[in-house]
Amino acid sequence: MNDSIYITALAGISSLGNSVEESWSSYQTNKHYLKQQEVNGTLEWISPLGEKSKQEIELLRNSDLKYRNLDDTVLFSIFTARNAVAQAGWTTKDNFGVNIGSSRGATALFEKFHREFLDKSTTSTLSSPTTTLGNISSWVAHDLQSKGPEISHSITCSTALHSMLNGVAWLRSGMADKFLVGGSEAPLTPFTIAQMKALKIYSHETDMYPCKALDLTKKFNSMVLGEGAAVVCLEKGFSENALAKIEGIGYATEILEHNISISSDAKCFQSAMRMALGELNAEEIDVIVTHTPGTVKGDLAEYRAIEKVFCNKIPFLTTNKWKVGHTFGASGMLSVELAILMLKHQQVIKVPYLDVLNSPSKIKKVLVNAVGFGGNAVSVLLSI
């Protein structure tokens, strides 16, 4: 890739914690962060923020009158953006853009205002623009006093990695010096969970691990929703504080047979991974952080795509969805967080219910995958 792009800061908030240090500590155990909670009158598995993180978000919400009516997706974004920009040392004098996407956006507020409309045939003046998708990046830009541009989008579950693609493109074009990119999601709402249950992909597991992401022997779908956000700072050219280099990017969209499915061997993933690899030998990849949401067909399709690309030299495979659930539009960047932490600490994170025989002795290159409803796949290759 011409004009090398580096990740110079990283921040996240999820059930793992609200700092990279807390996230890494959470990865050191075989404990998951899923719990059962009553939703629509039944107990459902979810992966919410911890109490400490919830308190941080409430402090942010109450710190400014303008923030009190914002959706959690926006507040998660502001919280992580502040942390990332502080790490990178960016100021209001820097010319940086913001692209933070979300699969569903302000779904909690939308559901609230929609109920209000059904009950009263009227709604609050705040129902717009607080429920628009552009609400996220614009509020982050306001909070950071950045000069722009501000971009928001939804490409379902590959949203965060598409944000990274956009940031790379802007930097390589010369139209911006720095870019803040990522994804945010707060999907733990009654309607959203009802939707996933209607698709018959939600977990009803009762054993030790409710979400069996990457378990190719499972007989039942086991997706669990989680909430959170993650962002990174991108800069062109090497920096002393660089966390990782974006060595390759790949993307593809496949023709669908069904509006939520991908092919049995995930042709979109095959194309995206090959594009990200470029001229590299596939054997140089040490780890793949898979998308694997915990569904029977989705997990198997991605694995078959990996087999097609890597043949009998499949790298070490891991995922974090068994631990934090599926955070939709934020999931790809939370996977990037895991990838960067493994690169930094030179330690793979194993999935506890899987047998692992191919742990690498060194971690130099990690491939991160994401795909969304609609067959929009992205693969990002990170190296140190």
Give the CATH number for residue 143.
3.40.47.10
Rounded to the nearest 10 degrees, the angle between the axes of helix 20-27 and helix 331-345 is 80
On whether the CB atoms of residues 273 and 251 are closer than 8 A, the answer is no
Q: Are residues 210 and 325 in the same domain?
A: no
pLDDT, position 261 = 63
Cis before 293? omega within 30: no
Looking at the fold, whether 251 and 231 belong to one and the same domain comes out as no
The band of 375, judged by pLDDT with boundaries at 50, 70 and 90, is confident
Does some domain include residue 175? yes
Residues 66 and 200 in one domain: yes
Q: Does residue 142 lie in a domain region?
A: yes
Residue 91 lies in a domain: yes
* Residue 2 pLDDT: 52
How large is the average pLDDT for residues 135-159? 93
When the pLDDT of each residue in the chain is averaged and rounded to a whole number, the result is: 94
User: Within a 13 Å sphere around the CA of 230, how many CA atoms are in the beta-carbon half?
Assistant: 31
Residue 368: pLDDT band (50, 70, 90) is very high
**pLDDT category, 54, cuts 50, 70, 90?**
very high
**pTM beyond 0.85, yes or no:** yes
What's the whole-number mean pLDDT along residues 41-56?
97
Rounded CA Rg of the chain: 20
Whether residue 372 has pLDDT greater than 70: yes
What are 268's strand-pairing partners? Answer: none
Residue 241, in any domain of the structure: no
My answer on whether 101 and 231 are in the same domain is yes
Q: Classify residue 98: in a domain, yes or no.
A: yes
In a domain, 242, yes or no: no
Identify whether residues 298 and 357 lie together within a single domain: yes
Q: Last residue of some domain: 183, 206, 236?
A: 236
| Domain assignment of residue 254, given as a range | 247-383
Q: d(Cα 366, Cα 360) in Å, to the nearest integer?
A: 11
Give dist(CA 299, CA 348) in Å, integer: 20
**CA 35 – CA 159 distance, rounded (Å):** 25
3-state secondary structure of 151: strand
Statement to judge: residues 219 and 268 lie in one domain: no
Query: Within 13 Å of residue 161, how many CA atoms lie on the same side as its CB?
Result: 35
Closest by Cα among 146, 151, 138 to 178: 146
Could you tell me if residue 92 is inside a domain? yes
The rounded distance, in Å, linking the Cα atoms of 79 and 306 is 35
Same domain, 163 and 269: no
- Indicate the residue among 184, 208, 236 that finishes a domain: 236
Residues 124 and 230 in one domain: yes
Say which residue, 291 or 254, is predicted with more confidence.
Answer: 291
**In terms of domains, do 251 and 232 share one?**
no
Coil vs helix vs strand at 227 = coil
CA dihedral 206, 34, 376, 332 (to 10 degrees): -150
pLDDT greater than 80 at residue 60: yes
Domain count, the chain: 2
- Indicate whether 356 pLDDT > 90: no
Say if residue 43 is in the same domain as residue 79: yes
Q: Which of 209, 236, 263 is the last residue of a domain?
A: 236
pLDDT at 120: 94
pLDDT at 213 (0 to 100): 98
Q: 150 and 294, same structural domain?
A: no
Same domain, 149 and 210: yes
